[in-house]
Amino acid sequence: MTKTIIYGKTGQLASALAHELQDKAVIFASTEYDFSNIENIKHALENIDAGAIINATAYTDVNKAETEEDAAYKANALIPEALALYAREKNIPFIHYSTDYVFSGESDEPHKESELPAPLNAYGRTKLAGEKKVAAIGGKYLIFRTSWVYDHKGKNFLNTMLKFAKERESLSVVSDQFGAPTYAAHLAKATINILNNLEENNFPSGIYHLCNSGFTSWHGFAEEIFKIARKNGIELKVNEVKPISASEFPTPAKRPANSMMDCSLVSKTFGITMPDWKDGVRECMGKIIK
């Protein structure tokens, strides 16, 4: 039986992919295997009948990337390049994830794949470099740009907000940045559905936007988290969630005001429509409550 290689082990998306694939996956941790070199990849995978490779690892600390751009570049550009090269040599599909942060977010419309990227920060620059390197390698590749990924475990906005809400009576959350919170389990399920239905002789290589439907602000995301938490009996201390502008909450890395993405191309090409972002929050909270 052919196996799907997942590069990344403890990350929220890698964990969700592994859960989706079960015994059809072989997982390699980025902390144990340096896949920025194709020779290392060949050595690690030489005895595995790989049917596809999914790169679910990345340098995702947006603020720290401002001072560690070389490390971010290795993870976000060099590793996907090496994996794409190996996949091309083996003539197998390669799936890589990118980000809404490749855009400046200056327009009010959802971003289309045809829009010219213009990242505002080092993280976005390194992710865009990874996209370009994978596309330049060619072969059978899919790059999924996604946004605001979270899960029931790990370091993410949902878990941070829940922690703060249990400790503080008042919170201030940015209300003028908009995007689609994307539940890792939904992203993983869509990925595997696409992978399972790919046609051998009609492979639609390219970049696609793939995130939960709808959009909200970080403030709206927080409010929804707290509403569902209380509905399910989670005690929260917070009684005020103040909407603030991004300028009132300065960070080392500038972020796009508009992270909304048009996902019509992935729907048209693969017949995939992601659930609404609120459905993702509800399902994720269900796992936390259990």
pLDDT in tens, 144-157: 999 999 999 888 99
Average confidence (pLDDT) over 229-246: 92
163 domain-assigned: no
pLDDT at 290 over 80: no
The pLDDT assigned to 222 comes to 96
Write out pLDDT tens, residues 78-131.
999 999 999 999 999 999 999 999 999 998 899 999 999 999 999 999 999 999
In this structure, what CATH number is given to the domain that contains residue 54?
3.40.50.720
Query: Percent of the chain, pLDDT > 90?
Result: 87
Distance CA 15, CA 184 (A): 9
* Cα–Cα distance for residue pair 134/138, rounded to 1 Å: 7
Asked if the structure places residue 254 within a domain, the reply is no
Considering the domain boundaries, does residue 130 fall inside one? yes
pLDDT at residue 249 is higher than 90? no
Tell me whether residue 219 is in a domain.
no
The pLDDT value given to residue 154 = 86
pLDDT at 127: 98
User: How much helix, strand and coil, in percent to the nearest 5, is found in the chain?
Assistant: 45, 20, 40
pLDDT at residue 125, rounded to an integer? 97
Residue-level pLDDT at 155: 87
H/E stretch holding 220: helix 218-231
For residue 250, name the pLDDT band (cuts at 50, 70, 90). Answer: confident
Q: Is the pLDDT of residue 64 over 90?
A: yes
Radius of gyration for the chain, computed over Cα atoms and rounded to the nearest angstrom: 19
Ordered DSSP codes for 48-91:
S-EEEEEE------TTGGGT-HHHHHIIIIIHHHHHHHHHHHHT
- pLDDT of the residue at 185: 97
d(CA 69, CA 76): 10
Q: Give how many domains the chain has, as a whole number.
A: 1
Give mean pLDDT, residues 161-184: 95
**pLDDT value of residue 112:** 96
Residue 153 and residue 14 in contact, taking contact as beta carbons nearer than 8 Å:
no
Reported as a pLDDT band with limits 50, 70 and 90, residue 232 is confident
Structural domain includes residue 289: no
* Structure token pair of residue 48: 């595995």
Q: Is 97 known to be catalytic?
A: no
How far is C-alpha 96 from the geometric centre of its chain's CA atoms? 9
Q: Which residues contact 252 (CB under 8 A, 6 or more apart)?
A: 63, 64, 66, 67
The C-alpha atoms of residue 154 and residue 184 are separated, in whole angstroms, by: 11
Contact 213, 275 (CB under 8 A): yes
- Residue 166 confidence (pLDDT): 95
pLDDT for the residue numbered 230: 93
From the list 59, 97, 123, 183, the catalytic residue is: 123
- Mean pLDDT over 22-36 rounds to 91
- Bridge partners for 98 per DSSP: 145
Residue 26 lies in a domain: yes
At 156 the pLDDT is: 93
- Examine residue 147 and state whether it is found in any structural domain, yes or no: yes
Q: Does 111 fall in a domain?
A: yes
For the chain, what's the residue count? 290
| Per-residue CA distances from 63 to 96, 130, 175, 250, 253 (Å) | 22, 19, 19, 11, 5
Which residues, 6 or more positions from 119, have their beta carbon under 8 angstroms from its beta carbon? 101, 102, 103, 104, 125, 127, 128
> In the prediction, which pLDDT does 289 show?
83
Domain encompassing residue 13: 3-153+181-212+262-268
**Which of 6-10, 174-178, 195-199 holds the top average pLDDT?**
174-178
